[in-house]
Amino acid sequence: MIAIIDYDAGNIKSVEKAFAYLGEETICTRDKDVLLNADKVVLPGVGSFGDAMEKINSYGLKDTIIEICNSGKPFIGICLGLQLLFEESDETPGVKGLGILKGKIKRIPSDGSLKIPQIGWNSLELCNDGRLFKGLDKDPYVYFVHSYYLEAEDESIVKAKTEYGVSIHASVEKGNVFACQFHPEKSGEIGLKILKNFIEL
């Protein structure tokens, strides 16, 4: 059973549908015991860093998420879910993230030539043998919707990068914790393959 953390995140339905298409049973919950007993856990997210952390804190989910990440079971953050795993974001200065991974969430710089937010498809440069990308061709195309991006402190956890006015750390992996800035659930066959790799961990 895969548990999807329900904190009013926005993209839960599309994540549920993608796993269902792959034949995987999911439960959408914020119940601590259900989350801790799930085989794998997903932290989805669309919206602002500050609002999301406020919801996570108000539902008492922060300590549960940290416990799950420390438990060794596979955990994946998607889009805003990636950003929340880090310590803080330029989007809402002063608001503390989950602090599970180290790095900075920065605003994508623009001189007016790039549209912010970035909405659309971009190719990934795969690196450091990420398990989510097993069996994928070089430079896979995936779907992004974001105004902020990750700059991880430890480059060895970065498994995919992309370029959009700046080098963006698009996916990370550290032990049992995985995260993607892009939306695998909206990235067609490639995205489904990434989710299948997560299922098979």
**Active-site residues: which are they?**
79, 183, 185
Q: CA-CA distance, 35 to 31, in Å (whole number)?
A: 6
If residue 168 lies in a helix (H) or strand (E), which one and from where to where? strand 167-174
Name which of 48, 15, 7 is nearest 186 in CA terms. Answer: 15
Give CA–CA dist 76/148, Å, rounded: 18
Tokens at residue 8, please?
């009013």
- Residues pairing with 148 in the sheet: 107
Asked if omega into 117 is within 30° of 0 (cis), the reply is: yes
Q: Which helix (H) or strand (E) holds 19?
A: helix 12-21
Beta-strand runs (E) in 57-147: 75-78, 103-107, 118-123, 125-126, 141-146
